[in-house]
Structure 1
Amino acid sequence: MFILHGRYFVHRHIHLFKHCYSTSTIKPLNVAFFGSDLFSMHILEHLYQLFLNDKSRIKCLEVVTTVSTLNTVMQGAEKLQLTTHVWPDIDSLISKSPVQFDVGILASFGQLLPKRLIESFPLGIINVHPSLLPRWRGSSPLIYTIASGDKTSGVSIMDIRPKHFDIGPVLMQQSFPLSTNMTMFELLKISADVGCSLLDKVLEDPIKSRENAQEQALSGITYAHKINKYGYYIDWHNHTTEDIDRLYRALNQIANLRTIFRQKPVRLKLLTLINDQSILNDLNTISSQPGTAIYNKSLECICIRCKDGWIGFKKLAYLKSMYARDFQNGYISKMDRFVFDSIHNSLFDYIYERRVPK
């Protein structure tokens, strides 16, 4: 039922667009941008350059964002001296603003939009989403893409629907391969660049882009839920070395991975993959218990046993940050056997069942 309603919504608005706009009158556009984080800021900076250098394309650019001390877009908009509207005061856009906005562009905004706001934009609101929808709908697609070991990712430009995340028809989509050791921030930059390129094409003719929009497939739907604090913890009994490496590349540039010792968190830094078979053989003769921590002098790291092998960290933070040798001298050497606790990581509840078959 909802998909039929969505199609009606698209076709109804295309009909209205054609009466309100022609190809020659679509430009220049009054644009309201919705965003909050680093990915959003990449898209905003691109739109700002269009606004600054090509008034025939964007005549007015204003920003909608949330109040937060960590809000990258709020800080960026201030530096760019762009008019900023604070969410959720949508009346400042709909009825109080002197500008009649043509189109809304959203990227990683994290808020559900009401119907009356979407319908106040003659050309609707479109979303730059960094995944190949319907894979990884939700707030954290970049993290889940890396943590799940996807070989391919991409960007989708989609139509926003009221009170739902990432379900609207896709106006344009582009895929690209992922390198073996890619980090989340590297993926973010590539995705933002691809998103800007796609956005340029959509803005050339928004009506035609909508006419060619495709409903999302009903199969292959996965969700990238918001990461909670347990998403950073390692489950030594159930996580493989590959799982931990992927999790590290997905999250480490946001916050350190963690484990537990004496009921207190230990932050794990500077991951080291252990490939020397002789070192692995020596470690295996000492213990096969997941969570066991052993200092290796040649690697200068704490080697920790996981489900299928060993993984190393050169630096740890327990009460204070220290190198592996100091952690060895201060804690490991004083115990007969040093074992970190396993903590269930709910992020993997979604990943294990949703990995693309090899």
Structure 2
Amino acid sequence: MSFLKLEALFVSRALGGVPRCRFSRGLRELSTAPRPTPPPPWRVLFFGTGEVALPIARRLCERSDLVSSIRVVAPRPKKGLTPVLEWASEKKIHVEIYEPSSGICSAEQRNPEEVAERYRQCQARLIQLAKEKTDIGVVADFGYLIPSSLLSAFRFPPILMHPSLLPKYRGASPIESAIIHGDAETGVTVLDLDPDHFDAGNILLQKTYAIPPDSCCARVRAELAELGAETVTECLEDYDRLYSQRRIQDPSKFSKAPKMTPADYLVNWESFTSSDVYNRWRALGVLKTRLRGCQSVRPKAGKEHLYVLIHKVEKADSEAIDDLENAVDAEKIAQARPGTLVWDKKRKKLFCRTRTSQAKDHWIGLAQLQFESGSRVIDAESFKNCVKIHLYPGKCVFF
């Protein structure tokens, strides 16, 4: 497996003697050329948008001993202000809007020639800013590749914070992927940037993070963002040593974490165990399934199947599972195929059968649901009253 590698070779410009770095293919090896002594304090150009980037921007702004100035680069928002843009506006921090090389970011950018011209002008402004007013770029939760012409304009090679232990979960959804797969541990990585591939740079520093049991994505994201801010500042404090000791990512440990699609929210009851369903809900917050073989009492009466949103799931404890499997209808329940719904009168809970992988891992509790027709979120008992639930296998199932 081949990667484009970044080689930072510091040379002096003919005028001014300002150290520059250039990017080339091949192994990322340290240059033997004289290196400038890195700050602090740093003049930082910060590239970021969302919730993972915001704590880093805040931490850099607070560390006056480490950062003398900070400017922000962010994509043009599609709706409202992103967390980083909102923060920059409150702090009256200089912002440059990043124009992509292709695609439509706003109604005015429908002409490909206009898009290309905006991109060219944006790159020219950022290159000038990198050369004259900043020392280094710091990137987090940005979403665009940064071209080598801009990366090489900085005095020191920029760094990127990625919320996973690279090369595991390289891509747009590393936090969700770690939770979906039931990982007990993840972490953050600070690396240099590859101008041609996302998250493919050399590693400067990594820190691990134990994922709290039963924690949802919002909590993990917030805590990883704070850990990322701590790790970035540590890298800037000891940049010269960490950069000189950076290491190539191990290709044997590589895995992807692509952006989540609508298909990722759909529950496959034939394939998922109860742990799979629970972890997917922790990661995504809302799941989607189809309900068939039942007579709807209120919403969409007469439809062969309904789409249902699952807003909250609960683990089925061993006592509840024993009660289900020892009930009067135990034989029918034992024959139930994945997706079958069962109402537990004693606990007033709704359980759904999943694929069996091990003992007592084939029932999941559904606590809050919503018909996709736009009705409000309802509890399990209200949902049960909306559909006539049959215990017979195949009569009323999610699929």
TM-score by length of 2: 0.76
Aligned counterparts of 1:257 and 1:325: Cα–Cα separation in 2: 19
- Change in CA separation of 1:124 and 1:303 when aligned onto 2, cut-off 3 Å: same
Partner amino acid, structure 1, of 2:45: A
CA distance in 2, matches of 1:123, 1:95: 15
Distance 2:370 2:171 in 1: 31
Distance 1:96 1:27, change over 3 A: closer
Change in CA separation of 1:339 and 1:96 when aligned onto 2, cut-off 3 Å = same
The answer to whether the 8 A contact 1:157-1:172 is kept is: yes
- Picking from 279, 286, 291, the partner of 2:332 is 286
User: CA–CA distance in 1 between the matches of 2:259 and 2:383?
Assistant: 32
Pick closer, same or farther for the CA change 1:11–1:251 going to 2, 3 Å.
Answer: farther
- Aligned partner of 1:332 in structure 2 is 388
- Give the stretch that moved more between structures: 311-320 or 175-184: 175-184
Per-residue CA distance 1:227-265 (angstroms, 9 max, x = gap): 00111111000000010111111111xxx1111135543
Q: Structure 2 CA distance, aligned partners of 1:274 and 1:173? A: 36
- Corresponding residue to 1:272 among 314, 333, 341: 314
8 A Cα contact 1:126 1:160, kept in partner:
yes
Q: Which runs of 5+ in 1 are unaligned?
A: 342-358
How far 1:82 moved relative to its partner? 1.6
Distance apart, 1:270 and its partner CA? 2.2
2:37 aligns with one of 16, 22, 26: 22
The 5 Å alignment of 1:27-46 reads 27-46=40-59
Q: Which amino acid is the alignment partner of residue 77 of structure 1?
A: A
* 8 Å Cα contact 2:45/2:130 also seen in 1: no
RMSD (Å) for aligned C-alpha atoms: 2.5
The residue that corresponds to 1:115 in the other structure is 148
Q: CA deviation at 1:179?
A: 3.0
Bigger Rg, structure 1 or 2: 2
Which moves more between the two structures, 296-305 or 153-162? 296-305
Instruction: For residues 123-145 of structure 1, give each alpha carbon's deviation from its aligned partner in whole angstroms, at most 9, with x where no partner exists.
Output: 12211111111111111111111
Identify, as 1 or 2, the structure richer in helix: 1
Task: Kindly tell me the number of residue pairs found equivalent between the two proteins.
Answer: 330
For residues 279-337 of structure 1, the C-alpha deviation after alignment (integer angstroms, 9 at most, x for no partner) is 33137533421111222233333211111211111221103122222221121349972
Greater displacement, 282-291 / 214-223: 282-291
Pairwise mapping of residues 81-230 of structure 1 onto structure 2 (< 5 A)?
A: 81-88=92-99, 89-95=122-128, 100-230=133-263
- Alpha carbons of structure 1 residues 166 and 59: separation in structure 2 relative to 1, 3 Å: same
Find the residue that maps to 2:366 and give its secondary structure: strand
Aligned position for 2:379: 323
Query: Percent same amino acid at aligned positions?
Result: 25
The letter of the residue matching 2:71 is E
- Which letter does structure 2 place at the counterpart of 1:6? K
* Structure 2 residue aligned with 1:350: none
1:304 matches 2:337: no
Question: CA 1:329/1:158 → structure 2, altered by over 3 Å: closer, same or farther?
Answer: same
